[in-house]
């Protein structure tokens, strides 16, 4: 397309209200990277929004030239900076632009981002970087010797029957909310924290995001508290006082590969045998770590890439841990013992997410639903021998055992 013209029309919209903290993050963290012009352009596009509808009227880009006192060429360059850093998405059709205004990252997410944090440090020097961090630090309370007694969602609310999903996409959103946490993997935080050397220990760095990352990695890769401590120590930057979330994941994968090569197993501690886990399939999928599940399915062999798939199902797609286990076992069976690439799991996992498969119970019921659909389609037609083209979607060994266990 041609360069931007003053006669080109545009509208802007957002899905959330920009808060005062967002503006503070934009001013102190984003502005040093994107520059004053891009910062002013973002604030102007946001200022044009109707505070109730979160969308603007239609304007010309010549209007924007007057508002920001910049040439159309400079506006286009500043827009490119906003696009590159993730603050706006631009859509174009027939001389009409739509600017979707994205919320800035939270201070913690910005700093822990491997790219943005480093760019900010390079832009303002390390000394000023540390000063900026102090502005956003909150007062922390020592919880040493306290026991966390918070209930998880599945401990309080009963499972719901599967129903048609009702996803609403055009609602005002709060971009930094906390999701539902369901914890199955036993992890002793006290043991973990007490094992960290004093020079690496700072309770304020063990944020909720860091703890959730460690817990997920421990669950997926079968890490014990000492493994997690070693990984944490490698990711601790003593100068910046930052723990990189992406580096935690990288170190967990490297540890798994190293111990697998050296010892012929994925963990320093022996994994639970099947007899140590629940015999009821429903409970089994709730508690079994993916590394143990894949080990049993694959006759003791687990690829690091398969564990990475499990990690991304839980963290990127947001599947419940037990649901991710059901999906892994389901896929292993219908793919004749071979797990496909993450691209496949991303599509299927996203479908399960859209269908509100939030618990092991719903996942198993969903499998039953799919199998019932297949049986009905077979009963209406001729019975033909199974071939690669007409093989049923659902053929899972534990399915009958599961239904027998709940009858």
Highest mean pLDDT among 233-237, 254-258, 320-324: 320-324
Pick the closest to residue 11 from 102, 90, 86, 70 (CA basis): 90
- Rounded Cα gap, residues 371 and 353, in angstroms: 19
> Do residues 112 and 245 make contact, with C-beta atoms less than 8 angstroms apart?
yes
Which has more confidence, 240 or 88?
A: 88
Which has more confidence, 366 or 200?
A: 366
The average confidence (pLDDT) of the chain is 77
Give CA 351 to chain center in angstroms. Answer: 16
What are the tokens at 169? 């996409």
Residue 50 has pLDDT above 50, yes or no: yes
Residue 246 confidence (pLDDT): 80
pTM above 0.85, yes or no: no
- DSSP string computed for 73-86: HHHHHHHHHHHHTT
Residue 185 confidence (pLDDT): 52
Over the stretch 171-228, which tens digit does the pLDDT of each residue have?
Answer: 554 444 444 344 445 678 888 888 887 777 777 778 888 888 888 888 788 788 888 8
Catalogue all structural domains in the chain, each as residue range(s) with its CATH number: 9-105 (1.10.10), 189-270 (no CATH), 274-406 (no CATH)
Which has more confidence, 397 or 19?
A: 19
> Do residues 142 and 203 make contact, with C-beta atoms less than 8 angstroms apart?
yes
- Rounded Cα gap, residues 132 and 123, in angstroms: 12
Residue 230 confidence (pLDDT): 87
- Rounded Cα gap, residues 273 and 276, in angstroms: 5
Residue 262 has pLDDT above 70, yes or no: no
> Do residues 289 and 297 make contact, with C-beta atoms less than 8 angstroms apart?
no
Helix (H, G, I), strand (E, B) or coil at 273: coil
Label residue 10 by pLDDT band (50, 70, 90): very high
Q: What is the mean pLDDT of residues 86-100?
A: 92
DSSP state of 244: -
What are the tokens at 272? 């639970």
Minimum mean pLDDT range among 14-23, 326-335, 398-407: 398-407
Over the stretch 267-311, which tens digit does the pLDDT of each residue have?
Answer: 444 444 444 555 677 788 888 888 888 888 776 777 778 888 888
Q: What are phi and psi of 254, to 5 degrees?
A: -65, -40
Pick the closest to residue 325 from 337, 311, 338, 335 (CA basis): 311
13, containing H or E segment: strand 9-14
88, containing H or E segment: strand 88-93
Residue 306 confidence (pLDDT): 84
- Rounded Cα gap, residues 57 and 181, in angstroms: 40
Over the stretch 301-324, which tens digit does the pLDDT of each residue have?
Answer: 777 788 888 888 888 888 888 899
Give the torsion sign (CA, 220, 251, 122, 128): positive
| Residue 369: count of CB within 10 angstroms of its CB | 14
> In 36-60, which positions are buried (b, 16+ CB within 10 angstroms) versus exposed (e)?
ebbbbbbebbbebbeeeebebeebe
Label residue 70 by pLDDT band (50, 70, 90): very high
Pick the closest to residue 213 from 283, 346, 205 (CA basis): 205
Residue 384 has pLDDT above 70, yes or no: no
């Amino acid at each position: 397309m041609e360069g931007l013209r003053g006669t080109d029309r545009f509208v802007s919209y957002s899905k959330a209200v920009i808060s005062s903290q967002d503006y503070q993050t934009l001013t102190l963290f984003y502005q040093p990277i994107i520059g004053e012009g891009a910062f002013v352009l973002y604030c102007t596009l946001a200022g044009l929004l109707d505070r109730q509808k979160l969308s603007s009227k239609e304007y010309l880009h010549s209007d924007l030239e007057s508002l920001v006192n910049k040439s159309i060429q400079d506006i286009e360059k500043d827009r490119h900076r906003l696009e590159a850093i993730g603050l706006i998405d631009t859509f174009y059709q027939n001389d009409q632009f739509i600017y979707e205004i994205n919320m800035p990252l939270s201070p913690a997410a910005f700093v822990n981002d491997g790219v943005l944090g480093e760019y900010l440090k390079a832009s303002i020097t390390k000394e000023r970087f540390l000063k900026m961090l102090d502005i956003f630090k909150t007062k922390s309370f020592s919880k040493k010797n306290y026991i966390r007694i918070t209930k998880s969602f599945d401990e309080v609310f009963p499972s719901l029957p599967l129903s048609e999903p009702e996803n609403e996409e055009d609602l005002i959103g709060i971009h930094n909310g906390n999701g539902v946490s369901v914890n199955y993997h036993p992890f002793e935080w006290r043991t973990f924290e007490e094992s960290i050397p004093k020079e690496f220990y700072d309770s304020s760095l063990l944020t909720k995001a860091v703890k959730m990352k460690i817990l997920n990695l421990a669950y997926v890769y079968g890490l014990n508290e000492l493994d997690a401590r070693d990984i944490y120590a490698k990711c601790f930057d003593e100068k910046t006082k930052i723990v990189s979330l992406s580096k935690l994941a990288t170190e967990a994968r490297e540890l798994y590969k190293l111990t697998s090569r050296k010892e012929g197993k994925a963990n320093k501690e022996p994994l639970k045998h099947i007899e140590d886990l629940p015999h009821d399939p429903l409970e089994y999928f709730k508690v079994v770590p993916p590394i143990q599940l894949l080990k049993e399915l694959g006759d003791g062999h687990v690829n690091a890439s398969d564990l990475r798939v499990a990690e991304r199902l839980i963290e990127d797609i947001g599947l419940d841990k037990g649901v991710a286990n059901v999906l892994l076992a389901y896929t292993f069976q219908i793919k004749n013992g071979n797990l496909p690439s993450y691209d496949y799991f991303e599509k299927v996992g996203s479908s399960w997410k859209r269908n509100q498969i939030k618990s092991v119970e719903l996942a198993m019921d969903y499998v039953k639903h799919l199998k019932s659909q297949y049986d009905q389609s077979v009963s209406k037609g001729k019975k033909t021998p199974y071939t690669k083209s007409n093989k049923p979607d659902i053929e899972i060994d534990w399915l009958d055992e599961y239904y027998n266990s709940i009858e």
